[in-house]
A and B are shown apart, each in its own frame.
Chain A
Amino acid sequence: MSRREAALSSRGAAAPRDERAAPSRWRRALRRLEPALAVSPFLVYTFLGLGIPSLAVIYYAFHGETGGWSTANIAIIWHGDQGIFRTGFVNSIKLGLLSSIIPGVLGVFIAYAIQTSKSPFLQRLTSTASGVLANFGGINLTFMFIATLGSTGILTAWLHAIGINLATIGFNLYTFSGVAVVYMYFQLPLMVLVITPALGGLRASWREAAENLGASAWSYWRHVGIPVLLPSILGGMLLLFGSAFAAYATAESLTLGLIALSPIQIGNFLNGNVIAGETHVGYAIAFGMLVILAVTMTLYSLVRKRASRWLR
């Protein structure tokens, strides 16, 4: 950015000289401008596609319908409509935590099981499968799970056959618990992808040193393994939190928009389910999501810095 500005201002500096100079001066000016010109399509495009929408969200979140700055929209999120928007945030954060902590922990065990298996086939299979499955969000997942855990689903029938009735233990695919189970389908592989390099950084010599000093497996993990891995694990979980917190398609298609999650509520605003006088609340929810994600990503980069201390 600053490079581009510097290059741009160099045009201003070169301009007066051009009047008395030969065309070669022009060429030199163009040369100096070249970096800015070469990168500018990309910068303009990202500004239009990322900058403008984000700025619009922030602008409208703090503007009332009649214009002028106002915090009314934020106030509606906090107090208005029996707090359904606040509930949306609480639910989204809960969902984010649930589908980052559980897949986060399980993902470490799966990655470790694969890592220590010494089977190149298994390792390659997992890395391919994780790469594929981690990108498996969206509505296709919804229908696959309807065929699995829906009321006529195959797993539902199997469990019924061995005497477990999902409905009576409080599981319903089309509610919060169902969304969490479905999210795990792409969260778990994502965690495996993220944590595998960190596990590879655990050096065998550390383990040997610990064993030579008489450490049990537990004390090795307690004093060496877990402290070294913890920043990476937390970093992975923060990524998972962000992805579950912000996901829309799966939750929307699974619950038909009837679940109180912030992304779904934004969708409802766009679909026109708006109470008069609250047309800008959707922007305020989006702004709130941006704030939460910004905090998440800041924590992530802090944790990353910490993680890279041992794992090189």
Chain B
Amino acid sequence: MAPLSSGSVFDVAQVEDEAIAPYSSGRPRRRVRWWRGVVLLLAGAYFLIPLYAGLKFSLQGVNGGFSFLAFQKLPSAPGFSAALTLSLKLAVATMVVSTLLMVPTAIYVHVRLPRLRRMMDVVTILPIVIPPIVLIVGVLGAFPEWAKASPYLLSFMYVILAMPFVYRSLDAGLGAIDLKTLTEASRSLGGNWFKTIWRVVLPNIRPALLSATVLTLALVFGEYTMASLDLWTTIPVWITQFQVSSDGHIQVAASMLGLVGTWILLVLVVSLDRSQSRRSRRRQGAS
């Protein structure tokens, strides 16, 4: 067992305790600003230094100078393109299945079975409670050989892993529009259900749809547990395996690319959610 020793976590904790002490003793408000500065500075340092280190390491040339060499070598590194292709295929399959499964279900529950929303909330949160490592043991133990032979078993499970994010995003999107009025209006104008969903509901929840898709994409490109234990070399698995062979800089470059890519995707999601909530607020203000 590893010693539970005083890592830098404890140092940070100590410094912050000292910073907080003046406030707790109830001195003037001026001091409050001071501890806030210290807390935010330390938090900023904790989150930014590793990012800086990762970027610096991946942009470091052989002789210590600045270079894009690691990024340039990445596409031609052995196995990279195969891993990228596999990850892309899995991502597309996951997004398609997830959309086809979750969108109609979420819309139907919202329009016709609001009583089921509680149950949906509980069921869709389960993939967060049951961790991937436990799920993959069960999958590899119970599923038939033909299913385990296909990489798309991963897509099948990724739909489950993405479910909490996808459902919540769709649920929020559907809650933000006046679904009842929209569907009733469309129905009374003679639209059938398919037309109503395709031409009326979907355009109205586009931000939610997009953010669900983007979250799924980020998940597939970051998932390591299931892919590595199911023995498929997706991008994250490739990065860890590359370690043994040679250039550490390429490895860090690949994961920085992954991080920055995920970062951009997730920032996109957050801003989409925000535009959606602004829209719904405007709607509520108008009515």
Write the residues of chain A forming the contact surface with B, with a CB cutoff of 8 angstroms.
1, 3, 34-35, 38-39, 41-42, 45-46, 48-50, 52-57, 60, 87, 90-91, 94, 98, 102, 105-106, 109-110, 113-114, 116-117, 122, 127-129, 131-133, 135-149, 153-155, 166, 169-172, 175-178, 180-181, 184-185, 188, 216-218, 221, 242, 246-249, 252-253, 259-260, 263, 266-267, 269-271, 282-283, 286, 289-290, 293-294, 297
Contact = CB atoms under 8 A, between A and B. Distances in A.
Contact of A178 (B7, B104, B131, B269): B7
A113 B43 CA distance: 11
Interface of B: 1-9, 12-13, 16, 20, 23-26, 32, 35-36, 39-40, 43, 46-47, 49-54, 56-58, 101-102, 104-105, 108-109, 112-113, 115-116, 119, 123, 126-127, 129-143, 156-157, 159-160, 163, 218, 222-225, 228-229, 236, 239-240, 251-252, 255-256, 258-259, 262-263, 266-267, 269-271
B126 A249 contact: no
B17 to A, nearest CB: 9
B9 A216 contact: no
B4 A176 contact: yes
Contact of B137 (A1, A53, A242): A53
Nearest to B36: A113
Nearest to A44: B101
A262 to B, nearest CB: 9
Identify the interface centre among B126, B225, B271: most chain A CB within 10 Å of its CB: B225
Contact of B135 (A50, A105, A135): A50
A268 to B, nearest CB: 10
B138 A57 contact: yes
Nearest to B130: A54
A142 B135 contact: no
A136 B259 contact: yes
B7 A171 contact: yes
B5 A177 contact: yes
Given A138-B223, A283-B141, A3 B113 contact: yes
A277 B105 CA distance: 45
Contacts of A166: 8
B47 A147 contact: no
Contact of A147 (B40, B54, B134): B54
A203 to B, nearest CB: 19
B11 to A, nearest CB: 9
B130 A248 contact: no
Contacts of B123: 46, 50
A109 B37 CA distance: 12
Contacts of B116: 3, 39
Contacts of B127: 50
B163 to A, nearest CB: 8
A169 to B, nearest CB: 6
Contacts of A289: 131, 133-134
Contacts of A286: 133-134, 137-138
Nearest to A173: B7
B156 A282 contact: no
Contacts of B8: 149, 166, 171, 181
Given A113-B39, A133-B47, A286-B137, A293 B131 contact: yes
A117 B36 contact: yes
A27 B123 CA distance: 31
A267 B133 contact: yes
A188 B43 contact: yes
Given A136-B262, A138-B236, A147 B4 contact: no
B58 to A, nearest CB: 8
Nearest to B254: A143
Identify the interface centre among B16, B43, B108, B126: most chain A CB within 10 Å of its CB: B43
B129 A145 contact: no
B101 A290 contact: no
A297 B137 contact: no
A154 B129 contact: no
B250 to A, nearest CB: 10
30 contacts: A41-B105, A42-B101, A46-B123, A49-B157, A53-B135, A53-B138, A53-B142, A98-B9, A106-B43, A116-B32, A128-B270, A131-B270, A140-B222, A140-B256, A143-B54, A145-B50, A147-B252, A154-B53, A155-B49, A175-B2, A176-B2, A177-B3, A177-B4, A216-B26, A218-B26, A252-B225, A270-B136, A283-B138, A286-B134, A293-B129
